[in-house]
Structure 1
């Protein structure tokens, strides 16, 4: 089931403790643009189908990434794209957005997403996997 835009942004806003929905939207756009560069094929399409249309389009037309970013570099890249962000605030942004995405996806899809990402992203999604 596709999340409504308001519901998606409300979840991100609450988790990120943002003052406004606009701040939550900015974080969501950057994180999803970076995430989209790491996902391919059916997995990316299935995840996009769960997101509000404007965020689905961002996921499907991502920023290009020359190589998969480690979780640490993903957070750093997020900080670079959000004006005034630090690595600490960017980690918060990434967690707020990706945990909302994880809630929208079922366990099977989340497992497929994690298989396409470097080790350690399970923590960014707020879903630590047993090692």
Structure 2
């Protein structure tokens, strides 16, 4: 089931405690563009199918990444793309967006997403995995 654009942004806004939907949208666009660079094939396509169309397109046409970023470097890259962001605010942005993405993906798809990512992303998605 695909989330509507407004519903997706409202969830991100609430979780990120943003003052406005444009703030939530900016965070969502950056985080999904970075995430898209780390996912491939059917997993990326299945996740895109669960997102609002404009966010699905961002996920499917990602920023290029030369190598998979660790969870820590993913947060730093987010900070670099969001004007005025600090490491702390970027961690908040990533968590707000990825926990909303985790809700949009069912558990089976989320497991497959986490298999494509370096260790530590489970925490960014707000879904700590047993070690």
Q: TM-score, normalised by structure 1?
A: 1.00
2:23 and 2:48 mapped to 1: Cα distance? Answer: 21
Q: Structure 2 regions of 5+ residues with no counterpart?
A: none
Q: Distance in 1 between the 2:81 and 2:120 partners?
A: 21
Name the residue aligned to 2:88: 88
Residues 43-81 of structure 1: CA distance to partner in whole angstroms, max 9, x if unpaired?
Answer: 000000000000000000000000000000000000000
CA–CA separation in structure 1 for the residues paired with 2:17 and 2:51: 21
Cα separation, 2, equivalents of 1:33 and 1:102: 16
Does 1:103 find its partner at 2:103? yes
The answer for unaligned runs of 5 or more in structure 1 is none
How many correspondences in the alignment? 131
Corresponding residue number in structure 1 for 2:52: 52
Distance 1:15 1:79 in 2: 18
* Cα separation, 2, equivalents of 1:58 and 1:6: 16
Q: TM-score, normalised by structure 2?
A: 1.00
SS at match of 1:111: helix
| Over 4 Å off, 4+ runs | none
Question: Please, what is the CA RMSD of the aligned residues?
Answer: 0.2
